[in-house]
Structure 1
Amino acid sequence: MSATEASSPMPIEVLLGHDAVPIDKEVFTALLGNSVAGTYKGYERALEAGSIKLADLVYLARKGDIPYSLFFAPLSLVREQVHKKTEKLLAGISRDTFSIGSRAKVELRNVELIVKDLIRKQQLLRKHDPSLKRNQIVGLLRDDTSPVHVDAARLMSAIGISHDELRACRTKEKALDVVIERLEANQVLVSRSVQHYMPQRLTHVKFSGMTIRDNKVPYIFLAGGDHGDDQEPAGRTIFTLVLMTVLVARRIFAPMTWDGGSTQTDPGREYDIAGSMLMPTERMKELDPSSIDDMKAASDEFKVTPSAVTVRAMRLGMISGETASNHLSQLRGEFMSLPKGGPRSPIRPENAVRKYNGRQLTIRMLHALDSGDISAGDFCRSICLNHLKPARIEDLRRAVE
């Protein structure tokens, strides 16, 4: 036996009665592992046993939208077909990172499985929800000549949210909930990172999130974890979400990374629109923040971080770049010196699934389940990624009420 033969993986045997036909294991894994069928137990059992019944293979192929004949094709052809399918699927997101004040670059392979999963969910929703209309937020801000504050007001109006409403929220967490609720009411889906409940772990990947293209239900994915700019999470997340909403409105669909403590001279139009939405110029001038304490007080009113207020004040010419840098350095040091919280209580599975999918997608797909358009098993696989069994669907229903 040659070295090549010795290192080749054992084939998967396709069973038809008493007969067995071998197929290349790499072909089997390439086709099913890159599809939703890779989450089915039949796939895992076949890999463990080294065999699969023909009827089960046909079932998996149908669920994964895979032409059955491809399982008997040469590996080179299969890889080419998988590559083409992946390229088409990932057309919903740019490979280039949209960066503001950050040198970090997000490699698409580090988030590719999450992208694929969210795009599949977009496709499922489009298939099963005939009530969806063309999205009014996508492409709303195409004109680069419009004044920043005009674009900010236009987007705020389209979303259905006001400055007074955000300022009236008791906490930054509540303000974040309000923004998410209004976006999803306008068919902009919002997914939030929940470790262990996503198809891919975000380890050693520092990025703020990503926007995923769709003319009806674009997705915003909010990454959690450490962003490297030492700011309290809730206020930073609000600015991140609003900034990515601006990207959707400007038809920019890409992974995004931004440094919330950057004082670079021109972070860009998108950043200024987001700043104007959350920290309107007129109110900033009324408050006239200059000291560290001023920045903290204003951040509580605007529901953002003191660092965001500092950068906004600098962008409006209210403080110098040197003062802003000094403030940001002090704020960073204060944040780093805060005691770190202890271990968090484990999140309930139904709450984790709701948070990762977004409430609106979950509700709409529950309607599809109730109408019989999708089975309980398929719902648990495609929407819950098998983290919930059919018996726990009612828990999920209560979690989104």
Structure 2
Amino acid sequence: MADDGRAKRLKPSEDGGAVIFERERRIAELESEIAQLRIRTLAANQEVTQLRGRNAELKSENDRLRRRGQAEGNHDVLPVVMTATVDLSCIDSGVIAQISSFLGTARELLNLALTCKSFGWRRTMSTLNWSLIEEVARQAVCSRATDDEMGCLPQYFRGTATWLSILHRHEHLLMFDVLLGICIEHRNGDKTAVCATGDLMCSTAISSSYVMKSGAHFAEFLITGRPCIGIVRPMPGLEAGAYQKDFSFYYSSLYPDFLAQRSDDWGNSDVHACDFCCYDGTMSFTNWDDYEIDNEWEGKESCQSGDTVGLLLNLDEGTLTVYRNNRRLGVMMDGLSGPYCWFVSLVKHQTSTDAVSIKRGILRD
């Protein structure tokens, strides 16, 4: 057949109609998807416009609040607005008590009690006779204090002693609350630490509010210089202001003052004061008629600045044991009975100044 120069017309295949149909269907789907995307884009543009408007409103409010702060003389602090409250009555008190117990200290619990009445006021709908904070404080005292320490703490009595005050007392169980003699002071206002202030004049500090009557008690003394550390009878009638010179429990001129403080609970022991000398490790004791120095007791050992001297008073066994840097030196005195308090005697020497800090010890034997 001759080529007449015209384009030949191809014969469509048998499935050509199906291909065309599928193509048109796909085109329709794409056009629908494009339409949906256009709708979404329009909605997104509207949302962006709204957010921009809200952002402009917030900026305007922020500027207004800053101008108010500047007018009031405060350029940094913006007012705080409470937008929601929590009804604590809907929460189990045991859960709140458990959470509150992690605060730890009496001061933190007091601050919590002052935040709202749900914490600090007496819970009238509860079987407890005290506030939620009082219950947390009671649990803290009972879980932390040993039986022997409980005997040295104030007893709870409504109107006289609160559990919060008892917890605070337990946190400050050991402190030098009585200073006797003119040449001694608390170090930097800390009642757990004292230092000598006068040359070659002896003064004494007593932890008089911690009276040990039974059981075992362990205290640690971080020393500077060469102080003497020991136990003495509680004598609440001694007036610190009456001793404005040097002072020692071994001054014979003061024995009548000490014996005038005697009470029936002192018991049969004639050891009224007993101490360990950090300078040479000797032990001294007195019945306030005479005194003795033991240079040969089993644990005699000198100490130096920076050492920690531990004293373990076991009134069940009637013994006083000495430790140096957690190492047991030995039993310094036995036959003890009746109440005692911790005390330290300090002197300012020509080459050093005595200083001591006290804390509750943890026996590691």
Q: TM-score range by the shorter chain?
A: under 0.3
- TM-score normalised over the length of structure 1: 0.23
Instruction: Answer with 1 or 2: which has the greater Rg.
Output: 2
Bigger helix share: 1
